[in-house]
Structure 1
Amino acid sequence: MESLGRTIVGRSREQRELAAFVTDAGGGALVVRGETGVGKSLLLDHVADVADRANHRVLRATGVEAESDLPFAGLHQFLYPLLPYIDRLDEAHRAVLDVVFGRGAAKPPSVMTLAIAVLDLLALAASPQPLLLVLDDGQWLDAASAEVCGFAGRRLTGSSVRLVVGLRSDIPSRFDTAALPELLLPSLSRPDSELLLTACHPDIPPRLRRVVLDEAEGNPLALLELPPFLTEERAGHDGRDPFGHQNVPLPHRLQHVYGNRIRSLDDAVRTELLRGALDGVAAGRSAGRPLGGTRYRMKDADDAVLSGLLEIDPFTGDFVFRHPLVRSTVVQLATPNERRAAHAALARVHREDIERHATHLAASTVDPDEQVAAELEAAAESVIRRGGALAAVAWLTRAAELSEDHEGRSRRLGDAAFIAGQAALLDQAQALVRSDVVPGLHNSPASVIASTYMALYQDGDVRFSRRRLVAAIEGIRDGVMTGTDEMLSRLVNLLLAICQYASDPAAWREARALLDSLGGSVPQRSLIYRDAWSDVVRHGAGVHERVEGSLAELRGLEPWDVTRLGVAAYHVDALGQYRPHLQRTVDREVETGATSSAITMVHLIMLDQIAVGDWDEAERSGERALELATVHDHVLFAHHSRAYLALVAALRGRLERARELQSVVDAWARPRGVGFLTQIADAVGTTAALSEGDYETAYLYAIGITTPGSFEPYAHQASRTLLDLVESAVHTGRVEQARRHALAAREAGLPGISPRLALITHGALAMTAEDDEEEAAMYERAEAAGAASLFPFETARIRLAHGIRIRHAQGPKAAREALSRAAEAFQQLGAVAWSARARAELRAAGFAERASSSRLPSLTWQEHRIADLAASGLTNKEIGERMHLSPRTVSSHLYRVFPKLGITSRAALRDALGKVSRDGSI
């Protein structure tokens, strides 16, 4: 495809679609996809011209391979011309965008937060005139920018902003899963290829014409570029290609074409081209793209422009490559010494940029150099905290190669292997530690960690893996094995994770004794993990505060530390306040970071969504975790995901699905001794049985987790299923066992460990109270625990039990409020069977269900939750943090709630909500 005057050959359909895309009402996004050289850039030029004639403002950007691991590099290109608009945004969005432009020191925002700020910026910029964003070579866009562009692109419909992205079809792209509409560009047909070749090279001899058409195979770039450099001699007489290579992929053939022109330049110009190519100078037209001081700026390269290798950006005046293949060919033709010299020069240019400087310095170095290795280590540490674990593995591997002694090499390979394991590169982790084997020496700590990752994640091996870890830790303790403090910490943390999955009392006792023998060598965080993950009934006192202290500075933590502390927070029911950070972090880690940690982050997000009643979102999170685990061959995490999905299904009354997943998990986990998952499977059985009112089965499942009146040591579900055991025991006539278990919870100090345990302990005591006075007191303490809005399902169960007891003791009318609140909560949660049970109790209490004229049913579930939280005295900011909304969104919801309830102030909320409840309209 090429432009003939104002006609583009062979693309009439595509031009019509692109013109309609620009001129039809409403914004949107479109991906233009095709192979290298098929004419994507020309169509992007065309759509830009159409938009310009339609009085659109056009902004262009180009993906650069060298920047594909640098967060926000592509977004910086797009948004730089819109800098004047940023100061007109609200403070929150300005702060988010300041991170992209390096104007703020805040931690990197989440994709959603940044995308929303970008959407607001684009809407503001498009207010004077419609805006068209054109991105070429989108396959090279960095992960953060691609995620934001995909998120924004899916939300442009109906706006004055349009986005067009050009992608190579032969290279995987981060836009492949963006779910944006696509326009596919096939190769030109033979007639169109002949038309283009005739129009651009009318004098080409017939035989050469045939060679070009055969070898180009409809690729417009080859049709244009090959003929000027072909002669009869080069074309030969046997029908082979002009360079003697039959069936060589087109890009390689074109590199030869560009190579001739590159070789004709003098050394100084070739040096400039090489530096520009190695530093990722733009290829193709990129109007308005600022290079600034962060990109090498080629100079004195006019001869390359005359040779058709470079162009001059009309907006910046900088030299840019005509096509990415030019850039590739420049690097390919350079000698190793020339490339090293160019990298050394670029390292000097980027001495203030730790990551670029280290990368170029390492590429310029041949012999071991401890200083360069240390700089690469520092660069790896820097990028890990921004979701760049994949880059860190490569840099640490190179650092190991440049180490001057075996100790440094071994340590860096161990670090690379550890991070590779966190990034779900299990085979690479194994290969890295195998490359460090020294004959005659014992297995290194790094090799133990890598092999344990494989055994745990892929096989669920908690027995042999635990023994290997114990032996390695004892070896370091006793001086038999060499290991740094960092390596010892990794071994200890992995041992604790395996003990958590095993949920075996003997294993936990051995681990605790081993850690005690290490004395002060065990980090404080590891002690938090030990106490939170093992047995919160016996060791959970004070863990909530210790977790909060460790998570006080989230920005400085590595992703695996955030994940481990998040798991600790879950065990003491303090996860909700950290969910926003997990949600901001998980997307970047999935793309280029610690994928294993990211899967656990998704699990944690799901658990909090289950707790607060967002069961639709929880199910989506579970499916995402399952997909990630399956793709990365994390068999353990896949079954872990299925266990949580089974729990959600059981809560919702989808019993067939719940039991199917429960069976799969149990059949895999029980023979392997993965007690953590078998306990969840039993909890699923309990929940499913309670959902359908089968209290006998529920009781049998519950006592399989722990016996009444005690809490099985190191069984994490023992405390979590307290209410299940008590309720099923009460309904099956085992009142004595239920009472004994509720008293045991109080005696064990569960109310002091977490608000949720306080809620369910007092609820269990209320259910088993020996007289009405005690029941009322315990119910009041349950309501006062401050966990009603955080754990709506448990709260609703306690209210239902309370209402039933009141109905029998005090009469139907007194029971209606508690029963109504329970019924409403179950309905809003989607707990169908529980809702039906509560409605039946309401009818038994003399409440006739009817269409209510009250105002509460007009509230959405979200509005109702916000109203409840506001009535409890929380500020908009605090409500937003609980529900993961902005304070502005909370304010908007309350603005709609007040007139629905017929009130004008927050002070009247509690009375208004209570009045409607008393009227029986919930």
Structure 2
Amino acid sequence: MGALISEACSHLSRGGSVLFSGPTGIGKSTLLSAVAAESDDHLVLRCSLAESESQLPFLGLIDLLAAVGDDVLEQLPEHERTVLRSALLRGGDPGAEPGLLPLRVAVLDLFRTLSADRPVLLVIDDAQWLDPPSAELLAFVARRATGLAISVLAAVRAEPGGGSHADFYPAPVLTLQVPVMTVAEVTALLGRRWPRPVLSKIYEASGGNPFFALELGRALAERESHWDSEDPLPLPDSLRALMGERLGSLSPGVRRTLLTASAAARPTINLLLQAGREDAADEVAEAVGNGILEVTTGHVVRFTHPLLAAVVYADAEPADRLRVHTELAATVTDPVERARHLAIVAPGPDEGIAATLSEAAAAARRRGAPAVAARLGRLAADHTPAPDPAADRRLTAAEDMAASGEFVAARDLAHEVLAVSADPAQRVRAWIVVMDASGQAISEVGDVFSQALKDARDDPALLAPLHYRLAWRAWLAEGSATNALQHAIRSAELAAEAGDRRTEVMALAKQAHIEFFLGRPEAEATLLRALSEPHEPRVMIDHNGPAFQKHRHHLLNDRLEEARTELRSLIYVVRQRGVVESLVNLQHNLARIEIHRGRCERALELTRQSLRLAEDTGLSPGPSWYSMALAEAAGGDLERAMAAAERAQRHSEDDRDLLFLPQALHAEGLVRLMRGQYADAAEVLGRVRRLEERQGLMDPAMRRWHGDLAEALARSGNADEAADLIELTRARARRLDRRSVLAVMDRAAAQVAEERGDLDEAVRLLRHAVRTFNELPFRLEEGRARLTLGQVFARRGETQQARLTLREARRVFSHAQARPWLELVAAALDHANGEDPARAPASYDLIGSLSDIESKVAALVAEGSTNREIAARLFVSVKTVEAALTRTYRKLGVRSRVDLARLAAGRPIAGA
């Protein structure tokens, strides 16, 4: 919506007219209000129209001019004033027929008078219902609007039956199609935490239309207590009436064909014929003519809006719906769709139906649709007569639910099995579903492990997957990588004994991960064992599987491109298969790689996607908030970075997740370091060190906080402690051949040398770090090394060299869109120029700290442009210019346009 508002405001600021087009409920009225609110320098005249009033002459004009007082009319010639007052029902003879030409001239002169003082904006909602006389008068004005400051902002319904409207918009006219909302936007709009399948149903039925989604949500909220998630959505009367208008004139035969189409997953004309609709082609054509259906490639029949299908289905008699599903079950060839129809036809226990549904669930699972598999599996269990097969089918459905992110439903289904089953294998499977559906909050289900181990007894096949999850608990909840490693090793051994290759591979992958963390030399061999054949595809794409650990191995060895390629390939497959938890983890891990590579905008986008998905599905958002904090610190805003770091800590502490807590603290420490809060940064990062060392961290490339802690210590007067940390980290990095870590330690050691007064040694170390990062793809680290080197040159009094080096740092950060770092470079350039960075800066180099829009606004202000002129040139609203200018003043430390112009010219600022 924001982009549409900006585009509309920009066009209006250049004197054009804007037309928002879209179906009922899409948000056109909201957009009109938002754009009108941005046009506070206009005289805004409004009217909101209705179909029932479209035949009342001059009603639109009366509404538009309601805010125009009689004192304005008094400025018109008497004969014009008389005819206009009559048309507006403000006196005179209301029954008299005003002459058309005098009335046209009177309206034109009135708008000339109104626009003489300030621009006039006519806001017309539901313009298709504007009465013809008003439309004709406005069209007359539009044709003569050249030189007049008059614009029209209108909304028109773009759907069958939407009415017609005259060409009454002063040129040039910009028509903007209002798009439907995304799933995430509809979810946020509803403001409720329904399960994902229910939210998906609401979204699909609404077609992304916000009004429809809200109405469906209200209806569901009213009936939620007696509504089953497998039932069609309850339809409110408001939507039934709205859609019923489009369906009311259809013949009975067409409605029967529409019912068959609404019940089918992918209706075609041929399928409708096979399902008994002998006149399907003609009936579809009639529905197409009425705007109900459209026929796409391959003769696929589709409703023009999903709600039409919902209304057709909901309004049908139950017997008619049953007949249609019976016909489709005998007609369709897709096993998944056939099973769905059979389940509706035969609602009671039936092993044949249950087996068909179970096979269909397996087919859906193979296609990478775990949510569909879960629904079919649950139906299969409900149709199963015997208790034992029903429990197994419920567990399979619960496992599919967990894979698709339906964690609450998965846990509920698992507990249903635990309540009735005494079979050890079923009980252990159920306990594992409960564990897996807990995500990062695995400590919250600690008592589950003892019960599961008791049920497993001494069966290797049951113990192997439990020890794998015990490895996770030991690391996340106990903070002991060593204990976690023992459980992972034991799991792999038990799985090999039981012939469970899937668990063996996952355990080996976890073992390799922990061995890398502990700096064990056998880690690579363990990873190769996990990657060796045979293995299942779903194991290879798991975010804890061997392919993910392969990406981590690339990252440890500074092969960022290979690590990125590995993750992007995994994300592509995971999206296809719908494995939500894996997708969340892969996205926020890819974001961290993009930060290293200096692609800050992409990192921010990935972290937003990851966080939104985690929150939508009930996963712990702690890891995603941590990645968000890093991305904001790299390329966004330090205040937002700190807020994200605090939320990451809170979630990790609430989940008692000791694996991610130190990472969340690292994000806070980094932000404090960038703010110059060195003592606070050292305290927070010192806590990170204690937590990580307690867990057993030995590979500094696994958790890259060492350089930040060393810098914070050096800058806060603890150079000796910083030097000890640097030497210890260097020793570990040399043993494991971690080049990027060694280069970071060079930068940190240079800061220690600088604090000790050895500036020559600091320069030597920093030049070596810059050379190393030139060879490695760590762009942000290169920028940091150049920034520090420029600061040391400035301290040595080599002003010219300092400026050149800092400008190189600015080039690196500018390319990376690393805005917070650009601000630090700008402050360093001030210092190199001999200015006090706490006071108003006197170097135009500081413009480099601004965002793209801020720098453009600043440059145009320096040229003497007004806010309106800037808005027109940049195609943004005046309010956007004002907001950018406010941020620019704050960042540059100036208070006025004059100061900004002086800054750009390199002249002193008054009072500085």
Q: Corresponding residue for 2:30?
A: none
1:393 aligned residue (374, 380, 393): 374
Of the three residues 426, 443, 459, the one matched with 1:479 is 459
Counterpart position of 2:551 = 569
| 1:397 and 1:413 in contact (8 A); partners too | yes
Alignment CA distance shift 1:715-1:581 (3 Å): same
Which of 772, 775, 788 is 1:784 aligned to?
A: 772
- Per-residue displacement from partner, 1:67-89 (whole Å, max 9, x unpaired)? xxxxxxxxxxxxxxxxxxxxxxx
Please state if 1:795 is matched with 2:771: no
Distance in 2 of aligned mates of 1:452 and 1:15: 57
Deviation at residue 394 of structure 1 after TM alignment: 0.5
User: How far did residue 536 of structure 1 move?
Assistant: 2.7
Partner residue of 1:44 out of 146, 155, 159:
159
Q: Give me the TM-score of the superposition, normalised by structure 1.
A: 0.54
Q: In the TM superposition, what are the counterparts of 1:344-355 in structure 2 within 5 Å?
A: 344-346=329-331, 349-350=332-333, 353-355=334-336
CA contact (8 A) 2:402 2:410 kept: yes
Aligned residue pairs total 644
* 1:679 positional shift: 0.8
The aligned counterpart of 1:607 is: 592
The Cα of 1:595 is off from its aligned counterpart by: 4.0
Alignment match of 1:465 (pick from 445, 455, 465): 445
Aligned to 2:673: 690
Quick one: structure 1 residues 339 and 294, their matched pair in 2 at CA, closer, same or farther if it must change by over 3 Å?
closer
Q: Secondary structure at the match of 2:402?
A: helix
Provide the secondary structure at the position in 2 that maps to 1:706: helix
1:27-66 aligned at under 5 Å gives the runs 44-46=159-161
8 A contact 1:626–1:642 mirrored in 2 = yes
What does residue 658 of structure 2 align with?
Answer: 675
- Given candidates 533, 538, 541, the residue that maps to 2:519 is 538
Alignment equivalent of 1:446, drawn from 425, 429, 440? 429
Q: 2:47: which partner in 1?
A: none
1:418 aligns with 2:399: yes
User: Is 2:714 aligned against 1:723?
Assistant: no
Counterpart code for 2:160? D
Cα distance in structure 1, aligned partners of 2:201 and 2:495 = 52
- Residue 541 of structure 1: how far off its partner (Å): 7.5
SS in structure 1 at match of 2:459:
coil
Would the alpha carbon gap of residues 335 and 829 (structure 1) be closer, same or farther in structure 2, given more than 3 Å must change?
closer
Structure with larger Rg = 2
Alignment map for 1:631-780 (pairs within 5 Å): 631-634=616-619, 636-637=620-621, 639-650=622-633, 658-659=641-642, 662-663=645-646, 665-666=648-649, 669-670=652-653, 673-706=656-689, 713-714=696-697, 719-749=703-733, 752=736, 756-757=740-741, 759-761=743-745, 763-764=747-748, 776=764, 779-780=767-768
Aligned residues: CA RMSD = 6.4
CA distances 1:760-808 after superposition (whole Å, capped 9, x unpaired): 355456666899689747854663356754x333222223334455677
Deviations 1:510-545 (A, max 9, x none): 533533542534433442234336753514876699
Conserved 8 A contact 2:505-2:535:
no
Matched, 1:342 2:327: yes
Q: 1:519 to 1:178 in 2, by over 3 A?
A: closer
CA deviation after TM superposition for structure 1 residue 416, in Å: 1.7
Provide Cα deviations, 1:858-909, integer angstroms capped at 9, x if missing partner.
9989xxxxxxxxxxxxxxxxxxxxxxxxxxxxxxxxxxxxxxxxxxxxxxxx
Shifted more, 545-554 versus 664-673: the winner is: 545-554
Within the candidate set 831, 835, 843, 2:825 is matched to 835
Distance 1:763 1:474 in 2: 54
Q: Tell me which residue corresponds to 2:278.
A: 300
Is the counterpart of residue 431 in structure 1 residue 461 in structure 2?
A: no
Q: Letter of the 2:781 partner, please give it.
A: E
The 5 Å alignment of 1:847-858 reads none
> Residue 65 of structure 1 corresponds to which residue in structure 2?
none
The 3 A distance-change label for structure 1 pair 785 and 468 is farther
Which letter does structure 2 place at the counterpart of 1:706? R
Matched-pair contact (CA < 8 Å) for 2:711–2:722: yes
1-side partners of 2:614 and 2:692: how far apart?
A: 38
Please say if residues 726 and 738 of structure 1, whose CA atoms lie closer than 8 Å, have aligned partners that are also in contact.
yes
- State the match for 2:359 in structure 1: 375
Shift of 1:721: 0.5
Compute the displacement of 1:478 (Å): 1.9
Residue identity matched to 1:683? H
Matches within 5 A, 1:878-889: none
Contact 1:567 1:604 in 2 (8 A): no
**Matched residue SS, 2:468:** helix
- Structure 1's 702 and 716: CA in aligned 2 closer, same or farther, altered over 3 A? farther
CA deviation digits over 1:656-710, x for unaligned, max 9? 5555554555456447632234313321332133113233332232222226997
Quick one: distance in 2 between partners of 1:320 and 1:177?
13
User: Helix, strand or coil for the counterpart of 1:444?
Assistant: helix
> Relative to structure 1, is the Cα distance of residues 325 and 686 closer, same or farther in structure 2, using a 3 angstrom cutoff?
closer
Structural mapping, 1:810-821, within 5 Å: 817-821=804-808
Alpha-carbon separation, structure 1, partners of 2:786 and 2:246 = 77
Residue of structure 2 in register with 1:332 after alignment:
318
Cα deviations across residues 161-186 of structure 1 (Å, max 9, x unaligned)? xxxxxxxx99833596968999999x
Deviations 1:199-227 (A, max 9, x none): xxxxxxxxxxxxxxxx999948868999x
The 3 A distance-change label for structure 1 pair 775 and 345 is: same
Rate the CA distance shift 1:490–1:616 in 2: closer, same or farther, 3 A.
Answer: farther
Report the CA distance shift for 1:704/1:309 in structure 2 as closer, same or farther (over 3 A): closer
Give the Cα–Cα distance (whole angstroms) in 1 for the partners of residues 673 and 301 of structure 2: 71
CA contact (8 A) 2:508 2:530 kept: no
Which residue identity does 1:835 align to in structure 2?
V
Q: 1 CA distance for matches of 2:422 and 2:593?
A: 50
Give 1:422's aligned amino acid: A
User: Contact (CA 8 Å) 1:799, 1:819: kept in 2 or not?
Assistant: yes
Kindly indicate whether the alpha-carbon contact (under 8 Å) linking 1:421 and 1:453 is maintained by their aligned counterparts in 2. Answer: yes
Residue 761 to residue 525, structure 1, CA distance change in 2 (3 Å): farther
User: Would you say the 8 A contact 2:468–2:488 is kept in 1?
Assistant: no
Q: Structure 1 residues 305 and 659 mapped into 2: Cα distance closer, same or farther (>3 Å)? A: closer
Contact 2:484 2:514 in 1 (8 A): no
Q: Structure 2 length normalisation: TM-score? A: 0.55
Name which of 191, 203, 209 aligns with 1:173.
Answer: 203
Distance 1:725 1:644 in 2: 19
Q: Does residue 822 of the first structure (1) align with residue 800 of the second (2)?
A: no
Task: Return the alpha-carbon distance in structure 1 between the equivalents of residues 436 and 746 of structure 2.
Answer: 41
Shift of 1:433: 1.6
Moved more, 313-322 or 292-301: 313-322
Alpha-carbon distance in structure 2 between the residues aligned to 1:836 and 1:326: 64
C-alpha contact 2:403 2:581 (8 A) present in aligned 1: yes
Superposition deviation, residue 449 in structure 1: 2.8
Q: Identity over the aligned pairs, expressed in percent?
A: 15
CA positional deviation for 1:720:
1.0
Helix, strand or coil: the match of 2:786? helix
Deviation at 1:452, TM superposition (A): 2.7
Secondary structure of the corresponding residue to residue 436 of structure 1: helix
Residue 538 of structure 1 aligns to a residue in which SS?
A: coil
How many Å separate the matches in 2 of 1:649 and 1:764?
A: 23
Match of 1:912? none
Displacement of 1:713 in angstroms is 0.9
